[in-house]
């Protein structure tokens, strides 16, 4: 079977521009979709080369949807490729696009790469991904570039935004949830994977976690009570320390 790297390096059609290390990452996530019925949306068309590459790689059952702000990109439309012209940071435009799309297996954001564009598109389109599907943001090194609204540890960057979503992944284990973001999006993030310049979100409803013990050690009723007490104590302590953290965070900069 032809790999994505081979498909790219053998490509003689319209121009595509990709970092070489992306192919290994994409192969890991995309190979299961090859020759299956797959719906993909790519934000950012440019010369249309990547659309041709997806068509070749995924096979004849692929349906490709694409967004670009540049009107000229409409010329890349064909029987397998539907193109929407507008800005990925325009919520109303995205709502209109969304209403015309089927559920998607993959969304790949390779558009303008500014912080606002990446965040607005993510928030508007994430739930359009099928259960088990993928939302991928490419070229996230722009989070470290001032020209794109980023900068190391800049709290407005996409990377910092995504780092905050890690806390939401752990919501079941956080006793004080007041400063935690919990919504339909965060409930449906099953995993977040960070690579050099790519962030991959796996969209799946996170089940309520539980743990069990298996094996033969007999726990005496006394030990059982002690363990229960310890667990209640840990929970109360965590709650109190969580309240103190929130209080400290809220009074930052104020004299207390
Ligand atoms: C990096 S290129 C896309 C490259 C293409 N995916 C490829 O791999 O060959 C970025 C594209 O994003 C488009 N773009 C820039 N700002 C945009 C915005 N606000 N909304 C939608 N597309 C935008 C540009 O017009 C350009 O075609």
Pocket around ligand 1 at a 6 A CB cut-off: 16-18, 42-46, 49-50, 67-70, 87-89, 110-112, 117
Mutate to test the pocket of ligand 1, among 57, 69, 139 (most ligand atoms within 8 A of CB): 69
Mutate to test the pocket of ligand 1, among 4, 53, 97, 111 (most ligand atoms within 8 A of CB): 111
How much is the pLDDT for 218?
Answer: 80
Compute the half-sphere exposure of residue 234: CA atoms within 13 Å on the CB side of its CA. Answer: 8
Centre of ligand 1 to C-alpha 171, Å, is: 35
Nearest residue (CA) to ligand 1, atom 18: 87
Q: Specify the DSSP element, H or E, that contains 164.
A: helix 158-169
Centre of ligand 1 to C-alpha 141, Å, is: 16
Centre of ligand 1 to C-alpha 48, Å, is: 10
Centre of ligand 1 to C-alpha 68, Å, is: 6
Centre of ligand 1 to C-alpha 90, Å, is: 14
Nearest residue (CA) to ligand 1, atom 11: 44
Q: Which atom of ligand 1 is the closest one to the Cα of 70?
A: 25
Residue 14 · residue 52 · CB < 8 Å: yes
How much is the pLDDT for 255?
Answer: 55
Residue 235 · residue 174 · CB < 8 Å: no
Q: Which atom of ligand 1 is the closest one to the Cα of 117?
A: 19
Q: How far apart are the first and last CA of the chain?
A: 66
Predicted confidence pLDDT, tens digits, the chain (256 residues): 899 999 999 999 999 999 999 999 999 999 999 999 999 999 999 999 999 999 999 999 999 999 999 999 999 999 999 999 999 999 999 999 999 999 999 999 999 999 999 999 999 999 999 999 999 999 999 999 999 999 999 999 999 999 999 999 999 998 888 889 999 999 999 999 999 999 999 999 999 999 998 888 888 888 889 888 988 888 888 888 888 877 887 776 565 4
Q: Which atom of ligand 1 is the closest one to the Cα of 48?
A: 9
How much is the pLDDT for 256?
Answer: 47
Centre of ligand 1 to C-alpha 112, Å, is: 5
Centre of ligand 1 to C-alpha 200, Å, is: 19
Residue among 62, 60, 50 at smallest CA distance from 26: 50
How much is the pLDDT for 205?
Answer: 98
Crossing angle of helices 91-99 and 115-125, rounded to 10°: 40
Q: Which domains does the chain have, with CATH numbers?
A: 4-203 (3.40.50.150)
Centre of ligand 1 to C-alpha 110, Å, is: 6
Secondary structure (3-state) at 201: strand
């Amino acid at each position: 079977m032809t790999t994505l790297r081979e498909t790219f390096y053998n490509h003689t059609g319209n121009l595509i521009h990709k970092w070489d290390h992306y192919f290994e990452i994409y192969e890991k996530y995309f190979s299961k979709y090859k020759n299956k019925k797959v719906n993909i949306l790519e934000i950012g068309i440019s010369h249309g080369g990547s659309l041709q590459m997806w068509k070749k790689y995924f096979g004849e059952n692929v349906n490709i949807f694409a967004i670009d702000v540049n009107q000229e990109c409409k010329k890349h439309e064909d029987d397998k490729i539907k193109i929407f012209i507008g800005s990925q940071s325009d919520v109303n435009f995205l709502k209109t696009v969304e209403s015309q799309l089927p559920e998607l297996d993959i969304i790949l954001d390779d558009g303008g790469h500014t912080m606002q564009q990446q965040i607005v598109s993510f928030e508007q389109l994430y739930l359009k991904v099928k259960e088990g599907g993928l939302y991928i943001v490419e070229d996230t090194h722009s989070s470290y570039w001032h020209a794109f609204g980023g900068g190391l540890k800049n709290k407005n960057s996409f990377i910092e935004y995504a780092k905050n979503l890690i806390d939401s992944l752990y919501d079941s284990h956080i006793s004080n949830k007041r400063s935690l973001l919990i919504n339909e999006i965060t409930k449906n993030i099953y995993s977040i994977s960070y690579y050099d310049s790519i962030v991959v979100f796996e969209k799946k409803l996170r089940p309520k976690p539980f743990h069990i013990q298996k094996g033969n050690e007999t726990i005496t009723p006394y030990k059982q009570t002690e363990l229960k007490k310890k667990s209640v104590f840990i929970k109360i302590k965590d709650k109190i320390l969580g309240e103190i953290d929130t209080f400290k965070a809220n009074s930052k900069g104020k004299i207390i």
